[in-house]
Amino acid sequence: MTRTPPRQRAIPTDPPTDSDGADAIDRGIEQGMALLRGGDADAALAAFVEAERVATAANDAAGRSSALRHQSIALRQKSRWDEAAALAVKAADVARGAGLREPLAEALNAEAGVYQSRGDFDRAESLLADAFATTDDRRLLGVIYANTGSIAAQRGDLDAATRQFLASAGEFRRCGYAFGEATVLNNIGRTALDRGNGRVAAPLLRDALGPAQRGGDAEQIAVVQRNLAEALWLVSELAEAQTVAEAALATFEASGNEARCVECLRVLGEIAEASGDRAAAIRRWREALPMAAAAPAEHDRVVERLRGVGAASEGA
């Protein structure tokens, strides 16, 4: 749905118009996204809730679906999976009820993101297939390709992941979506990392970090940093690896993203172990254990690391 862009205006003397309501919804969502990119998920969530209130009062189905979807995204970043999934379903229901194809596809993709984050890849892939069949929007098609590529990589099918990422990059290039291209560079670098090829991954991830930083999205920057840290650990550039991993951890701690915190702590432990500091490695890995529920697969890797150094630990 195309909206009238926000404009300068004096205090109105007439009743608010539909475009005034649409402007307020857009401003609320834009404010929330800026807060989310800055790492303040709680304030972002409040902005999205207010945007939903305005959209509901204005009977704006597209705006309400968007506000609900963005609430889901904010809650997903805080690892509040059940609430995030429920809000994404609600966003899809609103869009479906109003016959809105693009908002429906966006909501299905958001719900898939929750299950992907939780490791329920079958359910995520089913939702992504539905989203793909619903939209012709190149930016959203690029996002869907990127998400299916990430799932393929997590399943260990790195050839399929690379094909999906390249398709994603092509869609983003066609519509001029630079943020998306930075994400794809990160994903291709991550695929190389999953192959254990740090020397290929590190330059790709360095290339992804620049556009991410220019875009100012704290979450995206931290994801690239987390991956770059692991690539640098693989090629024994340990000092820089520790610096970027600690920067990523600080961002994820600030936003309450426990799943990502566990990943960073695991990598920091590996860096410490490679540096010869066994005590620091154990400390980092044990720090990750209380957040196990947010990232079961990562928790298993942390427990494996602790056992590998002969360290008994609570919850292992």
Q: List pLDDT tens digits, range 61-80.
A: 999 999 999 999 999 989 99
Angle value at C-alpha 83, between 77 and 88, nearest 5 degrees:
85
225 in Cβ contact with 247 (< 8 Å): yes
How is residue 14 annotated by DSSP? S
Topology alike, domains 19-114 and 169-252: yes
- CATH 3.40.640.10 for domain 169-252, yes or no, is no
Q: Which two tokens stand for residue 299?
A: 């928790």
d(CA 30, CA 193): 34
Question: What is the reported pLDDT for 296?
Answer: 80
Question: What is the reported pLDDT for 123?
Answer: 97
Instruction: Specify the 3-state DSSP secondary structure of 32.
Output: helix
199 in Cβ contact with 162 (< 8 Å): no
Question: What is the reported pLDDT for 293?
Answer: 73
Report the candidate in 212, 208, 218 with the shortest Cα–Cα distance to residue 250. 218
Question: What is the reported pLDDT for 148?
Answer: 96
d(CA 258, CA 249): 10
How is residue 192 annotated by DSSP? H
Amino acid identity at 194: D
40: left (phi over 0), alpha (psi -120 to 50) or beta: beta
Rg for the chain, CA atoms, rounded: 21
255-295 tens-digit pLDDT: 899 989 999 999 999 999 999 999 999 999 999 998 877 77
d(CA 186, CA 180): 10
Helices (H) and strands (E) in the chain, counts: 15, 0
Sequence ranges of the domains in the chain: 19-114, 169-252, 256-316
d(CA 209, CA 185): 9
Q: In which residue ranges of the chain is pLDDT below 70?
A: 1-21, 312-316
Q: At what angle do helices 121-134 and 138-155 cross, to 10 degrees?
A: 160
d(CA 211, CA 177): 11
242 in Cβ contact with 213 (< 8 Å): no
Burial level of 38, CB count in 10 A (0-12/13-18/19+)?
middle
226 in Cβ contact with 242 (< 8 Å): no
CATH fold for domain 19-114: 1.25.40
Amino acid identity at 264: C
Q: At what angle do helices 218-234 and 178-194 cross, to 10 degrees?
A: 30
d(CA 67, CA 100): 15
Kindly provide the b/e burial profile for residues 173-204, where b requires at least 16 CB atoms within 10 angstroms of the residue's own CB: eeeebebbbbbbbbbbbbbbbbbebbebbbeb
d(CA 53, CA 71): 12
Question: What is the reported pLDDT for 94?
Answer: 98
Question: What is the reported pLDDT for 19?
Answer: 53
Question: What is the reported pLDDT for 72?
Answer: 97
d(CA 225, CA 296): 22
Report the candidate in 299, 300, 308 with the shortest Cα–Cα distance to residue 281. 308
Give the pTM.
Answer: 0.65
